[in-house]
Amino acid sequence: MKSQKNNSKVTRRNFLKKSSLFGTFAFVNTGNYFRFKGNKTAGKDVEMKYRILGRTGIKISEIGLGTWEAPNANVLSYALDRGINYIDTAPEYKNGEEERMVGKAVKGKRDKAVIASKIFTTHTSTKKETIRFIEDILKRMQTDYIDILMIYQIGSIIPKHGLIKGKEMTRLKNENVIEALKQAKKEGKIRAIGMTSHGGGDFAGYVNYAIDSGHFDMIMLKYNFMAFPEEKELFKKAKQNNVGSIAFKIAGGAYDQKIKGYEKSRTPEFRRAAIKFVLSNPNITNCIMRMPTFEEVDNCITAVNERFGYLDKRTLEKYASAVKPYYCRWCSTCTQVCPYGTAVPTIQRYLMYYTNFQHRDEAVEKYFDLLPEQRADNCINCSAPCENKCPNKIPIKEILTEAHRTLYIRT
């Protein structure tokens, strides 16, 4: 497959130029991640706080460091020294390179770290295959055990990994996988079993099963200030059942990078507001953030020591109002009426990776891995029944048509 080197179409055309929808806002293509000017001494007068991860008894920092497009090992080591003990990674991140980086960073500090990783299992995965996945993770990290191991992205359809429509719940209930995980737990190779979900499909059904089954010690769900009432109730139920809860995707996408007049949403104040909103929910144990710099580590720790207040609320509301017409909540209402089987929420996420996070090669590769009928080439001539059903009135046809033009690289 050809690598996508440069494509600026998404920053033009109709997808991102409808500034009228944003009032005084307009999109600009900065393409930069948050960088906050400061030094490593910022936030030195504050300390990390901790919560217990449900029935696991594991004490984890209220914020965790996510290693998707991770900082370097020096920043990760610095975060550990500042008390951020929860490190979240996965084999998919740079084909295992992020796991290797985590392993090197915690060497000599393993007792300080709570490491979580994930496995892609399918509805047909065997016990032997699952055990091999676990052993591979331990080998990459050069460690004897993983604190938390999660079944990855329940509800997502990813043919590359054998995750197909209609088998999501069967995948979660796969007895071979559960047996392998419980065996690894008994042998001390993992301390806790979990599951993750971006949403999609029978999302509430998956999470309710995970909580009710007794097999899972924790759940990790997308949750932020952009209104996720279903997730809020599921976190509450998890707490009542002594199941630990971790929130990710807490910043509401990365559209702020492109809103003229609101670039400050990538300032320390915005990041702290997003963290404080999540941690104000007593049913959530921890939230995960990317922390690419020493300064960002200090900034996130500062948020743990501040209360969510009026100015934080206004900051997040202003952002939410601006990006509402384009931010997909993964309710999957659209997929229920799509006549072609298009992976609507998934494609919108891949386009966000491409345009907002600037992860262009990864976005193109992920789109290429979809089945032909799941791609968006049918959208251009479709009557778009999905738009009539979308509760947030997102211009789905326009976005997916642009996504296909941008992401589909013919070989």
Q: Are residues 122 and 235 in the same domain?
A: yes
Residue partners of 367: CB distance under 8 A and separation at least 6: 347, 350, 375, 403, 407, 408
pLDDT for position 253: 77
pLDDT at 263: 55
Q: What is the pLDDT of residue 257?
A: 60
SS3 string, 232-260, reads HHHHHHHHHCCCEEEEECCCCCCHHHHEC
pLDDT band of 70, cuts 50, 70, 90: low
In this predicted structure, the answer to whether residue 10 has a pLDDT above a threshold of 60 is: no
pLDDT for residue 268: 84
- In terms of Cα–Cα distance, which of 198, 185, 111, 102 is closest to 141? 102
Average pLDDT over residues 69-74: 78
Percent of the chain with pLDDT over 90: 55
CB 323 within 8 A of CB 259: yes
In a domain, 385, yes or no: yes
Residue with tokens 């992205």, as numbered in its chain: 153
pLDDT greater than 80 at residue 26: no
Q: What is the predicted pLDDT for the residue at 262?
A: 54
> Is residue 267 located within the same domain as residue 146?
yes
Residue 146 main-chain phi, psi, to 5 deg = -115, 135
- Rounded (5°) CA angle 73-68-357: 120
Of 52-61, 228-237, 330-339, the range with the lowest mean pLDDT is: 330-339
Report whether pLDDT(339) > 60: yes
Residue 258: the pLDDT is: 57
Structural domain that includes position 332: 9-18+326-407
pLDDT reported for residue 96: 81
Q: Per mean pLDDT, which of 14-23, 80-89, 165-174 is the most reliable?
A: 80-89
Residue 270: its pLDDT value, please? 87
Select from 295, 319, 343 the last residue of a domain: 319
Verify that 113 and 244 share a domain, yes or no.
Answer: yes
pLDDT of residue 11: 34
The reply to whether 395 falls in a domain is yes
Half-sphere exposure at residue 160, Cβ-oriented, CA atoms within 13 angstroms: 9
User: Are residues 86 and 151 located together in one domain of the fold?
Assistant: yes
Which helix (H) or strand (E) covers residue 181, if one does?
Answer: helix 175-186
Task: Give the model's confidence band at 299: pLDDT under 50 very low, under 70 low, under 90 confident, else very high.
Answer: very high
pLDDT value, residue 132: 96
Domain count, the chain: 2
- Do 156 and 225 fall within a single domain? yes
CATH, residue 247? 3.20.20.100
Q: What is the pLDDT of residue 355?
A: 84
Share of the chain above pLDDT 70, in %: 84
Position 166 pLDDT exceeds 60 = yes
Whether 78 and 173 share a structural domain: yes
Give me the mean pLDDT over the 398-404 stretch: 93
Whether the pLDDT of residue 313 is over 90: the answer is yes
Higher pLDDT, 262 or 11: 262
Does residue 135 surpass a pLDDT of 90? Answer: yes
> What pLDDT, on a 0 to 100 scale, did the predictor assign at position 266?
60
Token output for 393 = 């009135």
In a domain, 34, yes or no: no
The pLDDT value given to residue 30: 31
Q: Is 86 helix (H, G, I), strand (E, B) or coil?
A: strand
Question: Nearest 5°: CA angle at 343, between 342 and 347?
Answer: 120
How confident is the model at residue 216, as a pLDDT? 97
68 and 190, same domain (yes or no): yes
Mean of pLDDT over the chain: 84
Query: Does 307 share its domain with 333?
Result: no
Mean pLDDT, residues 32-61 taken together: 70
Exposure letters 186-205 (e unless 16+ CB within 10 A, then b): eeebbbbbbbbbbbbbebee
At residue 323, the 3 state secondary structure works out as helix
Please, which pLDDT band fits residue 261 given cuts at 50, 70 and 90? Answer: low
Same domain for 241 and 380, yes or no, is no
